[in-house]
Structure 1
Amino acid sequence: MKKTPFLVVKHVCLIFISIIMVFPFLWMVISALKTKDEIWQFPPTLWPEKPMWHHFSEAWAMAPFDQYIFNSVFTASAIVFIQVINSALIAYAFTHLEFKGRNLLFSIILITYMLPTAATYVPSYVILADFHLLDTYSGLILSNAVSVFGIFLFRQAFMQVPRELVEAAKVDGARHWTIIWKIIFPTTKASFITFALISFVQNYNSYLWPTLITTSESKYLITTGLRQFFIQEGAYGIQWPLIMAASAFAVLPLLILFVFVQKWIISGISDQGLKG
């Protein structure tokens, strides 16, 4: 009974924080249903006098948002898959393989993480140009195929796995690949799920680099396509209801992602024990 006031305060705070977090998205959707005058009126109204549901269909018809969303989801998924594989392999080498210069090599990798991202744009652009990978899906994917953060995160997680488990698997004749996915992965699932989600959201929302290396509208990611819509169809902010509707299209795939993977995130975070 003594915990009841604390639980009430805790839930009230969580509800308040949740409302603050979700309010911008709700306001964006509601603004898409308003007229331009209703958006700018003061004091603002929470709900329009007459919802303009046709703004969503108009915005969808004005630009190939289906292509933009496909490009973002496809490239982000491919990047996440490659990053998870190579980050796990590299982290395994740093934690369960013995070779000269291991700590030095890991230090060099961490140093590269300290470089400003913009400082790598020019050399990366030149490399892609030399390999004729500009304005291609391959260029978008391969230029983001390695994540230093993923290597660091997996290394720290793999270090928590008892070496006795790994050594026992080696004695039984297990290969390195089997050890990673049968021994290490089940015990560090939370790190895999967390990194995959963070990486997907980051690459889905990526804007500057994809804008630099893509020129064809058919290759635009949703971020670049949304900017083009703002400039052309949105007339630099004049058509705010349509811009808000287009912004809702951009956010929708991420919301769907969270709805479907939330149980895996919770189970992955709570699954910290070692499985026999």
Structure 2
Amino acid sequence: MRMTGAWRTPVRHVVLTASAILMAFPFYWLVMSALKTNDEIWQFPPSLWPENPLWGNFAEAWQAAPFAQYLFNSVFVAGMIVVLQFINSAMMGYALTHMKFRLKGAMTAMVLVCYMIPATAVYLPSYMILGKMGLIDSYAGLILTNCVSVFSIFLIRQAFLQVNHELIEAGQMDGASHMRILWTILVPLTRSSFAVLALITFIDQYNNYFWPMLITQSPHLQLVSAGLRSFFVEGGAYGLKWPLIMAASAFTIAPLLVLFALTQKLIIQSVNLTAGSSKG
């Protein structure tokens, strides 16, 4: 039995609303657990709201470990990596799409091949190179080892391929340099793809755990993932202080929620452009 047009829209809204609630529920449960006592967290059946919300758990968790330093490290490192990947991916994507040079096809194939190599396969040689450069246990080591991403190059290359090459030729006929064409024509036309790139890169680097733990030993260089684990082991007493652990987890994901709120319109635009191009 086919669904009539009158019912299709309400049913779609109900399904989307239910999906949104299911996706948001873990965040709600995280915050509510941070406001409970340890006994309330383990009671059965669980309650959706604490009997007496303990807002002081957030302040206690914040003071129990240097989370301000952890958050600064993660935001600073991830932000610098986003800027560098933005620049590198834009220039590389332009070269692979709108420039003519020898071995262009081979270089494109090499990018695709490198995309299939797992990141862990290059940890050892990268660590040895950083050691020889004296960049172990430093901000520079954390940033420079992630300033180029094959995924970012591939993403921007695909975005640049959707731009009409006649616009590039028109710019060249007007005497514009490659850099001017890139930053005044291509980047503005594909800004939604760059917003997606920034969001994905920031989240990936903000949550990065294994590689930063491998090349840093100083506590003041720990990123938020490693800092949260340290708090779980030390301040959280291996899970005996679950309300504080939940509170710490809640305010460590706050920057990601803010970033998503700021970029959601551009992300939706990117999705719409991709859908339109695939239909066309």
What TM-score comes out, normalization by structure 2 length?
0.93
Tell me which residue corresponds to 1:82: 84
Q: What is the Cα deviation at residue 266 of structure 1?
A: 3.5
Q: Provide the secondary structure at the position in 2 that maps to 1:185.
A: helix
Tell me which of 27, 39, 46 is aligned to 1:44. 46
Tell me which residue corresponds to 1:68: 70
In the alignment, is residue 104 of structure 1 matched against residue 106 of structure 2?
A: yes
In the alignment, is residue 141 of structure 1 matched against residue 143 of structure 2?
A: yes
Q: What is the Cα deviation at residue 261 of structure 1?
A: 2.6
The C-alpha deviation readout for 1:144-188, integer Å capped at 9, x for no partner, is: 011101111111111121111111100100011110111112222
| Structure 1, 54-63 or 250-259: larger mean CA deviation | 250-259
Q: What is the Cα deviation at residue 267 of structure 1?
A: 4.5
Q: What is the Cα deviation at residue 270 of structure 1?
A: 4.9
Q: What is the CA–CA distance in structure 2 between the aligned matches of 1:99 and 1:261, rounded to whole Å?
A: 35
Q: Which amino acid aligns with 1:233?
A: G
Q: Provide the secondary structure at the position in 1 that maps to 2:253.
A: helix
Tell me which of 215, 218, 221 is aligned to 1:216. 218
Matches of residues 223-242 of structure 1 in structure 2 within 5 Å? 223-242=225-244
Q: What is the CA–CA distance in structure 1 between the aligned matches of 2:8 and 2:59, rounded to whole Å?
A: 47
Q: What is the Cα deviation at residue 257 of structure 1?
A: 1.4
Tell me which residue corresponds to 1:155: 157
Matches of residues 1-276 of structure 1 in structure 2 within 5 Å? 3-267=5-269, 269-270=271-272
- Asked if the contact 1:189/1:271 (under 8 Å) is kept, the reply is no
Q: What is the CA–CA distance in structure 1 between the aligned matches of 2:159 and 2:192, rounded to whole Å?
A: 9
Q: Provide the secondary structure at the position in 2 that maps to 1:236.
A: coil
- Asked if the contact 1:65/1:249 (under 8 Å) is kept, the reply is no
Q: What is the Cα deviation at residue 115 of structure 1?
A: 1.2
Q: What is the CA–CA distance in structure 1 between the aligned matches of 2:163 and 2:172, rounded to whole Å?
A: 14
Q: Which amino acid aligns with 1:4?
A: A
Q: Provide the secondary structure at the position in 2 that maps to 1:50.
A: coil
Q: Which amino acid aligns with 1:40?
A: W
Q: Provide the secondary structure at the position in 2 that maps to 1:99.
A: coil
Q: What is the Cα deviation at residue 211 of structure 1?
A: 0.9
Q: What RMSD in Å do the two structures reach over aligned CA positions?
A: 1.5
What TM-score comes out, normalization by structure 1 length?
0.94
Q: Which amino acid aligns with 1:262?
A: Q
- Structure 1 residue runs of 5 or longer lacking an equivalent are none
- Asked if the contact 1:234/1:243 (under 8 Å) is kept, the reply is yes
- Asked if the contact 2:38/2:243 (under 8 Å) is kept, the reply is yes
Q: Provide the secondary structure at the position in 1 that maps to 2:136.
A: coil
Q: What is the CA–CA distance in structure 2 between the aligned matches of 1:264 and 1:152, rounded to whole Å?
A: 19
Q: What is the Cα deviation at residue 264 of structure 1?
A: 3.6
- Could you list the structure 1 runs, at least 4 aligned residues long, displaced by more than 6 angstroms after superposition: none
| Structure 1, 224-233 or 91-100: larger mean CA deviation | 91-100
Q: What is the CA–CA distance in structure 1 between the aligned matches of 2:57 and 2:121, rounded to whole Å?
A: 41
> Number of matched residues?
272
Q: What is the Cα deviation at residue 269 of structure 1?
A: 4.8
The C-alpha deviation readout for 1:65-84, integer Å capped at 9, x for no partner, is: 11111111111110011001
Q: Provide the secondary structure at the position in 2 that maps to 1:167.
A: helix
Sequence identity percentage? 54
- Asked if the contact 1:28/1:244 (under 8 Å) is kept, the reply is yes
